[in-house]
Amino acid sequence: MDPTSPPSGHELLTTNRKALVINLDDTRYGTFAEIGAGQEVARNFFQAGGAAGTIAKTMSAYDMAFSDAIYGKSQRYVSRHRLETMLGHEYDLLRERLAATRGDKSRFFVFANTIAAKSYRGNNECHGWLGVRFQSEPHRPPSDIIAHIRLWDRDNVTQQQAVGAFGVNLLYAAFYLVKDPKAAVRSLVDNLSTSRIEVDLIEVSGPDFPAADNRLLSLQLVEDGMTNAVLFGPGGTPQIPAEAFYKKAVLVQRGSFHPVTHVHLDMMRCAAERFAQEPAVAEKPVMQLLEMSMSKLQAGGRIDPRDFLERVDTLSAVGMNVLVSNDLPYFRLTSYFRRYTPEMIGFTMGARALGRLFDEAAYTELDGGILEAFGRLFKSNVRLYVYPRLQQPQDPAGPLVDASNLPLPEKLRDLHAHILHNGLVETLAGFDRALLPVFAHDVLESICHGEPGWERFVPAAAAAVIKERRLFV
């Protein structure tokens, strides 16, 4: 194979080979700007050989005073704001100094990163922002790819090596894989493993990505195992979990939300009122979110991207944060939140979901079975808030099933009594009984068949989006 050209098909190149392919592409020319622990990316290009044909400048403003003098002051140095400032400053400088002499033949680029690797004391958050601004043709307006990563290697040296490989992958994807954004995202962890690097945000923008949807790229991160979950803010835009959850109490409702109904919002309202009364939550900021597991988005074993976007659109319309996770059981979801916040965690769920929590078959992977799962779930300030259901759906005025009278096998009743007695689970009060006969699957069926009247079961803002865009049909 010709080493000066990128491969065809799905050949996996080493990091060194990717860097060499870029170095020998005499149309690519640009700047590497790396602050913090990110200097490994440029090193890969120098070691591959032929870097003189690729690199106009490399720099590392490691000292904060130097960094501020070049890019301006920043509240956080490992941040998206700092990365975007670096990309903008260096790209403008590149064009200013080289456009007249190289602009007709060169496709300019700037690669930048700002990284916090493991410190000498080893007690810091290890993560970073990386990005590339690039031209696909001379004189063409540039496009951007921006990523946020978390580093899981146990020492500084291997973390820096992982950043180096990731940066080369990012540049290679930008230069040769932009016509297939899915393949570009998947290639970011070539020659790495997800046990070393987690990618929890990827965003593309510019003329080279006219049809790309960053929400779908975020979903792909979960689908491909590059992260356990992705977060979308109330406007549907991808968020960084570490920033969104930082020192906040978290209140979560799991479901398919297909579609979101008044029941879902009533459940969250009741839970939020109870959660605010917890002594550990009083006067603390609270992050409320709706969570969808990957299995809830699958139809016939495959993810339906259109269906996913429709659900995110309707949830955004009612102002909710949305988390999409990789089918994490409750005890693992608790561990996920514990990465980012030490504050209290609350789960609100229906009585049926609580019953499924006692399904011993769900915990066969654990040596301690259901006892280990419950121990891990409740070990660090976690509460369950249960929304009751009708014992007989056809009898709206009839008895209810709640946290206290859940029908369970006899061997599990002592465990149930234990968590009840210790206040780890309780039934919500103040719920709207008139909503109990409403089920999302019935509402969805009415929407699909064009039957009138479904709007009264759905929040007005979500119903407007469904009707205007003809969703779920």
**Within this chain, do residues 69 and 207 fall inside the same structural domain, yes or no?**
yes
Is pLDDT of 85 > 70?
yes
Average pLDDT over residues 7-16: 76
**Within this chain, do residues 181 and 60 fall inside the same structural domain, yes or no?**
yes
Structure token digits, residue 2: 């010709």
Structure token digits, residue 72: 């301006």
What is the tally of structural domains in the chain? Answer: 2
Is pLDDT of 3 > 70?
no
Please state the separation of Cα 212 from the chain's center in Å: 17
The pLDDT score that the predictor gives to residue 327 is 84
Angle at 150 between CA 144 and CA 155, to 5 degrees: 130
**Residue 180 phi, psi (nearest 5):** -130, 85
**Within this chain, do residues 347 and 278 fall inside the same structural domain, yes or no?**
yes
Cα gap 122→298, rounded to integer Å: 40
Average pLDDT over residues 442-460: 95
pLDDT digits (tens, 9 = 90+) for 114-144: 999 988 776 788 999 999 999 999 999 999 9
**Within this chain, do residues 198 and 290 fall inside the same structural domain, yes or no?**
no
First to last CA, the chain: 49
In a domain, 318, yes or no: yes
Nearest to 18 by CA among 143, 148, 197, 184: 184
Is pLDDT of 81 > 60?
yes
Nearest to 237 by CA among 309, 293, 294, 145: 309
Of 34-38, 167-171, 174-178, 437-441, the poorest mean pLDDT is in: 34-38
In a domain, 7, yes or no: no
**Within this chain, do residues 265 and 185 fall inside the same structural domain, yes or no?**
no
CATH code where residue 384 lies: 3.40.50.620
Alpha helices for 72-151 (secondary structure H) = 80-102
In a domain, 9, yes or no: no
In a domain, 234, yes or no: no
8 Å CB contact between 96 and 103: no
Query: Between residues 61 and 318, which one has the greater pLDDT?
Result: 318
Q: What is the mean pLDDT of the chain?
A: 92
In a domain, 10, yes or no: no
**Pairing state of beta strands 197-205 and 302-303?**
unpaired
Count the Cβ atoms, other than its own, within 10 Å of residue 399: 11
In a domain, 325, yes or no: yes
Of 18-22, 135-139, 166-170, 324-328, the poorest mean pLDDT is in: 324-328
Count the Cβ atoms, other than its own, within 10 Å of residue 158: 15
Average pLDDT over residues 273-301: 88
In a domain, 199, yes or no: yes
Is pLDDT of 196 > 70?
yes
The pLDDT score that the predictor gives to residue 308 is 86
**Within this chain, do residues 259 and 402 fall inside the same structural domain, yes or no?**
yes
Average pLDDT over residues 452-472: 94
The pLDDT score that the predictor gives to residue 191 is 96
End-of-domain residue from the set 212, 230, 263: 212
The pLDDT score that the predictor gives to residue 283 is 87
Nearest to 294 by CA among 254, 260, 344: 254
Average pLDDT over residues 230-250: 92
Angle at 129 between CA 128 and CA 130, to 5 degrees: 120
Could you give the percent of the chain with pLDDT greater than 70? 97
pLDDT digits (tens, 9 = 90+) for 200-223: 999 999 999 998 899 999 999 999
**Within this chain, do residues 42 and 132 fall inside the same structural domain, yes or no?**
yes
**Within this chain, do residues 394 and 247 fall inside the same structural domain, yes or no?**
yes
Is pLDDT of 52 > 90?
yes
pLDDT digits (tens, 9 = 90+) for 419-447: 999 999 999 999 999 999 999 999 999 99
Region for residue 338 given its phi and psi (left: phi exceeds 0; alpha: psi -120 to 50; beta: otherwise):
alpha
The pLDDT score that the predictor gives to residue 12 is 84
Q: Which domain holds residue 102?
A: 15-212
In a domain, 380, yes or no: yes
Do you know the residue count of the chain?
A: 473
Average pLDDT over residues 285-300: 85
Could you give the percent of the chain with pLDDT greater than 90? 79
8 Å CB contact between 433 and 263: no
CATH code where residue 26 lies: 3.90.950.20
**Within this chain, do residues 146 and 262 fall inside the same structural domain, yes or no?**
no
Cα gap 271→266, rounded to integer Å: 8
**Within this chain, do residues 271 and 362 fall inside the same structural domain, yes or no?**
yes
Average pLDDT over residues 362-369: 96
End-of-domain residue from the set 194, 212, 230: 212
Cα gap 419→377, rounded to integer Å: 11
Angle at which helix 369-378 crosses helix 330-338, to 10 degrees, equals: 30
Bridge partner list, 384: 347, 425
DSSP string, 179-215: T-HHHHHHGGGTTS-TTTEEEEEEEEESTT-TT--HH
Is pLDDT of 64 > 70?
yes
**Within this chain, do residues 207 and 245 fall inside the same structural domain, yes or no?**
no
Cα gap 400→405, rounded to integer Å: 9
**Within this chain, do residues 155 and 295 fall inside the same structural domain, yes or no?**
no
Structure token digits, residue 251: 């209140």
Where residue 145 falls among pLDDT bands split at 50, 70, 90? very high
End-of-domain residue from the set 212, 230, 260: 212
